[in-house]
Structure 1
Amino acid sequence: MMSINHDPETFVYPADMNEGQEALALWLRRLELRSPLTNFDRETVLSFPGTLRRYASSRDIVRLGERTQQSCLVVDGIVARFGQTSEGHRQLTAFYIPGDMADLHSAVLPVVTAPLQSAMTATVYFVPHDVIRRAGERSATLARAFWRDCVVDAQVASEWLLNVGRRGALARVAHLLCELSCRHFAVGLTRYEFPLNLTQTHIGEALGLTGVHVNRMMRALRSQSLVQTEGNMLKILDWAGLASVGDFDPGYLHMKREVDD
């Protein structure tokens, strides 16, 4: 049976559900894209214990100023990181898809300075910080993989800043679609066709655009036969053309394995 915590729209599942293990396997695949790991490392990651929680859309997962004791691995749905001004204006600064550990850095910086919220119905597998820290202490290769994962997250944030600050509206939208495509493909999900479970408001808050402007840009991309949408599914019809419009170079995602010295 599911138990319900104090948020009536958050459901806590038993920790041994297959969903958590599948998400750990996706995260392990992402780690291995960038870092060489041993069999011991793989077994360690796949054995991480945790707690599953399912969130309705637009629910806080970690709150500003909270001291956390767990890191958030996305099982399904999309989780967004955001900042907010004192006047209530919000900027989304990251999207996390299945297989992303949204706040691995919190294992060493547990006080939340950028909250996480479900962008849609989402399931999160919470891994205790002490489990992550002990794993890094037992294996230098795994510690470097964790470190590299955090560094890449920072580089993605840097690219998002460039996207919002220096690219035009059409390029911003195209760039985001290209990134999401590559990130889905990196963990073994489909590349040129994937669920875009984001509202125009979410995309606008990530790209510094209004929802109306996002709608116009999506229409423009469809009219140029670069993408096709059906329901919540997005299909890229012309990858080279979309990447050109978005000024997209996937190098900042570091999807090729680094060699440790």
Structure 2
Amino acid sequence: MRLFNARKIKDRATGLKSAARAVSGGRLVVIPTDTVYGIGCDAFNHAAVKALLAAKGRGRDMAPPVLIGSKRALDGIASDVPASATELIEAFWPGPLTVVVPYAPSLAWDLGDTDGTVAVRMPLHPLALELLKETGPMAVSSANKHGLPPAETAADAKAQLGSDVSVYLEAGASEDNLPSTIVDCVAHPPQILREGALSLEQIRKIVPETLDRDGRGPGEEPEVAEAETAEEESAEAEAVPDAAPPADEETTA
């Protein structure tokens, strides 16, 4: 288990070589991305993927996404990519967008219970992209134990994952501690599964028919919510005409 400070030129080169060797050898690595740090391995190494899930404390029902180093790499792992995915990829890759697409039936991998689909992302981080170009597609999940906060540094990840990981690449604190936004592009219309660094509004600017997490289309939730709120406020005002408005409450993320 080694931690390399990739902010130093010498450590960066040595760390990348060590990480690439670890991945090719079926071991786990922790790498920075443009969102949070990730724990990753060779996507085609069954034992390594199993070890990744075990390190996080996850089961096969929570298959890890796959990170790739170029848009072209998607052609090698996905089949019949939906038009919605293509449009979103052109708008947001590399970046904090994960798309769920059908994977090629010929692929010899086992990411878990995926029902023929894979969640794919191309991160906007030079260190991650450099490593991915050496290793090919990697199964990568957030670098933390299941149920704990995602790591914002490699040192944070090491405190949680310890010797389960062979190589840690430290590149400083994450620029954005929000995870990527996940869009299921296999669904018709596409649907957001997790809203993260990209908002629903940003996604809908590219694919307007995208559903929110609750399966509601554009324009459905705001009007209903506002109408209900207006009715409730009117009823309260009639019942207690002299009541003062409630004080603002602190909101936590």
TM-score of the pair, normalised by structure 1:
0.25
Instruction: Say which structure is richer in helix.
Output: 1
Instruction: Say which structure is richer in strand.
Output: 1
TM-score of the pair, normalised by structure 2:
0.26
Structure whose alpha-carbon radius of gyration is higher: 2
